[in-house]
Amino acid sequence: MVRLTIYRLSTSHTNHTQNRHHTFTKTIMKKTLLILLIIINYPTFGQNKYRIEKCVWNITKPADYITRIDNFEEIIKLGEEYVEEKEELELANDSKTLFSIAKSDSSPINMMIASYQGNENIKNYTLKGYAKALGAYFKESSKEDDPKNITTVKVSEVVIDKIKFYLISSTLTFTEKKYAYTSDYYVTEIQGKEFSIAVMYDNEIDKRKIEKSITESTFK
């Protein structure tokens, strides 16, 4: 089983709101980077059913999407070295990646990664609070971008097979290049775990394919 290194909030500073917010920001920053950068060589072979503890998730992936392969170990090592330097961060060693697919083997856009991990952030913030904090982080981080670019962030509720998810959608528009892409992050709690689906797309056709795949999936 391939494990995805993701960072969770430390519990050693829960009495200090400022430190907790700082920890959360660093946590989400590293988590977002890993979600977008770590594409795992994980053989799905057309598999449609995945287990989240005792829950079985059934999803039909887009037919023209393939398993994505990239350098995994090097990024994991860099992440572990980073966390060793930060006392307020700790490694989440129970995270699991279910699959990682993309439209092509070379493009970083038009892709989907599904994973789950411990639910510490949801316990600390509630699912709704966690989603709002993610949205706030994405808005805050966009201020560091080129002022000519435009970032829009939206947090909304999505019900998938009677399970409430929160969708954090961030669209970055490069005004000079007349190009835009969207990063969507679906998150919920299943069987005491934080379950998430991270996707990226830069056109309406792939957006519809990915959304159809996710919203028509089922949980048993």
111-118, strands of its sheet edge to edge? 66-67, 96-102, 111-118, 193-201, 179-190, 163-174, 150-160
Give the CATH architecture of domain 6-219: 3-Layer(aba) Sandwich (3.40)
Q: Where are the beta strands (DSSP E) in the chain?
A: 6-9, 49-52, 55-58, 66-67, 89-92, 96-102, 111-118, 150-160, 163-174, 179-190, 193-201, 218-219
Domain ranges for the chain: 6-219
- pLDDT, position 27: 47
Residue 47: the pLDDT is 61
Q: How confident is the model at residue 75, as a pLDDT?
A: 43
Residues 49-82: tens digit of each pLDDT: 999 999 999 999 998 888 765 444 444 454 455 4
Residue 138's pLDDT is 83
pLDDT tens for each residue of 85-112 = 544 334 455 778 888 888 876 667 899 9
Is pTM beyond 0.85? Reply is no
Q: Which residues of the chain have pLDDT under 70?
A: 1-47, 68-93, 105-107, 142-145
